[in-house]
Amino acid sequence: MNERAIDDCLALLRQAEHVVVFTGAGVSAESGIPTFRDALTGLWALHDPMDLATPAAFERDPALVWGWYEWRRQQLQSKEPNPAHHAIAHLAGRVPRLTLVTQNVDNLHERAGSSQVIHLHGDLQSPRCSVCATPHVLGPDTDLPSTAQGSRIDPPACVRCNSPVRPGVVWFGESLPEQALQDAFESAGLCDLLLSVGTSGVVQPAALIPEVALQQGANVIHINPEPGQGQYSGVTRIQGKAGQVLPELFGRAFG
Ligand code: BJW
Ligand code: ZN
């Protein structure tokens, strides 16, 4: 790790009054959950998102889409939070105020002990009716069908209107949950430090969150194994994996 960048980050962390941690799929990669856009292993390297992550795809082939999300939900049950999730949960007790905003649909932040997580893109564990939005109560994990990748499974029917139940995630072309979006942008506008961890920053409107923080005068630290583009005032980049960088950074700042 670049020692100069680390020293800058340690100082920023120690003096911060309100930290926003903004996470993407990379924060869960070391738990064994695939990202979306990593070249060989990302979900979108194997599947066309237009076949799986749009309302039109679900209308066209609900069993394909439901089966794919059940496969991912089942995978999640056997995964554990990694040192990055734990480090973020501990950080909340070390700084005056912390807001955690995630694009992830897994529940690993919560399972590591973070509370009040703002989920911008929904949640794999909260399916709802595709017509009337009635929440669908999932059965116990033991009821999960043994889902191989690519299995087609008919979605359950809504208890209220009998329409197909859909995954509780945000697909392309859909609006983000209003309250989550509002809370995320508000905290980005008010914080003095934003840590952006494990995101490619290409999906809108979430990608604007670090921009808003920067424009409002906050410092922004990007943590990613891939090198970032350009040098901007107020932006620090740490190249490395979240599960290694975050525990070291927070340990050195507050240990
Ligand atoms: C590590 C690591 C380690 C690896 N440690 N790091 C043209 C221009 C601009 C915008 C648009 C456009 N056309 C359409 C749009 C809008 C569209 C959009 O942004 N598209 C762009 C992709 C072009 N956005 C939307 O449609 C959104 N809605 C919307 O805008 O509504 C208004 C509207 C309505 C009608 C028409 C147009 C607009 C909704 C977006 C919903 C995104 N949904 C998904 C799927 C969720 C469900 C599911 O899980 O299946 O959300 S897509 C996917 O991308 C998922 C993620 O949350 C999101 C962000 O991805 P993330 O987290 O950044 O992951 P990756 O894989 O991209 O990056 C991982 C990073 O980790 C990499 O950088 C690695 O290097 C790094 N990494 N290991 C740390 N160990
Ligand atoms: Zn319904």
Q: What is the CATH number of the domain that holds 66?
A: 3.30.1600.10
Q: Which domain holds residue 44?
A: 35-78+128-166
Same domain, 113 and 25: yes
Residues 145 and 244 in one domain: no
Q: Residue 4's pLDDT is what?
A: 85
Q: Are residues 97 and 207 in the same domain?
A: yes
Q: Is the CB of 245 under 6 A from ligand 1?
A: no
**In ligand 1, which atom is closest to the CA atom of 242?**
5
> 213 and 92, same structural domain?
yes
CATH classification of the domain holding 110: 3.40.50.1220
Q: Whose CA is nearest to atom 21 of ligand 1?
A: 203
Omega before residue 205 within 30° of 0, cis: yes
**Same domain, residue pair 148 and 239:** no
My answer on whether 42 and 102 are in the same domain is no
Question: Does 192 lie in the same domain as 232?
Answer: yes
Q: DSSP string covering 152-211, please?
A: --PPPBPTTT-PBEE-SBPPTTSPPPHHHHHHHHHHHHH-SEEEEES----STTTTHHHH
Residue 8 pairs with which residues in a beta bridge?
none
**215: part of which helix (H) or strand (E)?**
helix 208-215
Q: How many residues does the chain have?
A: 255
Please report the atom of ligand 1 found closest to the CA of residue 103. Answer: 57
Cβ of residue 232 lying under 6 Å from some atom of ligand 1: no
Catalytic residue IDs:
121
Are residues 57 and 87 located together in one domain of the fold? no
- Quick one: which ligand is closest to 25's CA? 1
Expressed in angstroms, the distance from the first to the final Cα of the chain is 18
Ion ligand 2 — residues with CB < 5 Å: 129, 131-132, 134, 158, 160-161, 163
197 and 146 both lie in a single domain? no
Same-domain status, 187 and 246: yes
Number of domains in the chain: 2
CB-CB contact of 120 with 177 (8 Å): yes
Could you report the average pLDDT of every consecutive run of 10 residues in the chain (255 residues)?
A: 87 98 98 95 94 97 96 95 98 98 98 98 98 93 61 96 98 98 98 98 98 98 92 94 98 94
Which ligand minimizes its atom distance to the CA of 23?
Answer: 1
- Ligand 1 close to Cβ of residue 42 (< 6 A): yes
Q: Are residues 238 and 202 in the same domain?
A: yes
Check whether residue 114 and residue 200 sit in a common domain.
yes
Give me the pLDDT at residue 18, please.
98
User: What pLDDT was estimated at residue 3?
Assistant: 85
